[in-house]
Amino acid sequence: MAERRAALEPGHPGLSLRRQCRLLGVSRSGVYYRPEEPAPEQQAEETLLKTRIFAIFAKAPVYGYRKVSGQLRRDGHVVNSKRVRRLMREIGLAAIYPKRRLSASNRQHRKYPHLLSGVEATRPDQVWSTDIAYIRLPRGYCHLTAVMDWYSRLVLSWEVSPNLDADFCLMALERALAMGRKPEIFNSGQGSQFTSESFTGRLRAAGIRISMDGKGRCFDNVFSERLWRTVKYEEVFLKEYEGLADARAELGKFFAWYNEERLHQHLGCVTPREVYEGRVLLPTG
C-alpha cells in the first residue's frame, strides 16, 4: 500500500488525484489525512512515560504491556493499556519470552545424544557449546549465535543474521575453529541449523564428538542461557540499535569487553581470556 501511495503524482496534468487513487486502489482518505501534532504538554508527558517504561523494562524485561501498565498505575500515572502498548512499540520494547520455533528441528536430520549429563568442564577446549538468541531492532529483530568454551566462558566467536538459517551458525563455527584449537565435545540444541549436514559434517571432519540437548531440556545448555542473560541485561537492554549494522558493531565491542575486561565472579573475578589461555588456573574440587 505504501508503494502505491508513493506512486501518486499530485498535480498530474492528465490524471486527477481522485482518478489516480481509483486506478491504484488507494483510499483517498489516507492520501489527504495529515496526523495532528500532539500538544507540547502531551509530548512532555509521553517522554516521561517512555523514560519510566524503559526503567521498568530494565528491571523486568519479561513484562508485557499489561504488566507495564499496571506498574505505571501503581506509580501514580493515569494510563490505559492501549497507550502503553503504543509507546512500547514506538521505542521498540517487547516482553522477552521463549519464541515459538526459534530453532525448529528437522525430522530428516540426524540427532545426536546428549553427552554431558553429570560432566563438569575442568579444562579449556573440553566442551564448546552454541545457541541462538534474538535481538530486538527498531523494525523487527535479528538473530545472534555464539560459540563458547564451557570452562573459561570465553566467547570464541559470534555472528548475527536477519535470517534464521544455518549459514550464520556455520560461519561462527568456522571462525572459532580457525583459531587453531578445537574441543573434545561440541554441544548444541536440536535446531535445524545445528543438525544440518553442513554443520555436523564440519564437526565430524574435525574429529569432534557431537552432543545435543535433549528435547525440552533447556538446562542441558545452561551456560549459553547464562551468556544470553548477560548479553541482554548488560548490553542489549541498555541501548537502542539503529539497525543490523549498528547491532553488529555494538555487540562486537561488548564481546571484546566481555572476554578481555569483564570480571566473572564464578571465575574468581578474572577474565575469560586469562582462564582460557592458562594465565590463571581455577581451583579444582
DSSP per residue, 2-50: HHHHHT--TT-SSS-HHHHHHHHT--HHHHH--PPPPPHHHHHHHHHHH
Distance CA(36)–CA(283), nearest Å, equals 65
**Residue linked to cell 571432519:** 205
Residue environment code for 14-26, b if the CB has 16+ CB neighbours within 10 A, otherwise e: eeebeebbeeeeb
Residue type, 89: R
* 73 Cβ neighbours under 8 A, 6+ residues apart: 79
What is residue 103's DSSP assignment? T
Q: For residues 157 and 131, is the Cβ–Cβ distance under 8 A? A: no
* 21 Cβ neighbours under 8 A, 6+ residues apart: 8, 27, 28, 31
Query: pLDDT tens track of the chain, all 285 residues?
Result: 556 666 677 777 777 877 877 777 777 776 666 666 667 777 888 888 988 988 888 777 778 889 999 999 999 999 999 999 988 888 777 776 555 455 555 566 788 998 988 888 899 999 999 999 888 887 778 899 999 999 999 999 999 998 888 899 999 999 999 999 999 999 998 888 999 999 999 999 999 999 998 754 444 567 888 898 899 888 988 888 989 999 999 999 999 999 999 998 888 889 999 999 988 877 765
Task: Give the pLDDT score at 107.
Answer: 64
| SS3 readout for 143-184 | EEEEEEECCCCCEEEEEEECCCCCHHHHHHHHHHHCCCCCCC
Residue 143 β-bridge partners? 134, 161
Residue environment code for 54-81, b if the CB has 16+ CB neighbours within 10 A, otherwise e: eebbeeebebbbeebbebbeeeebebeb
Q: Check residue 43 and give left, alpha or beta (phi > 0: left; psi -120 to 50: alpha).
A: alpha
Task: Give the pLDDT score at 36.
Answer: 62
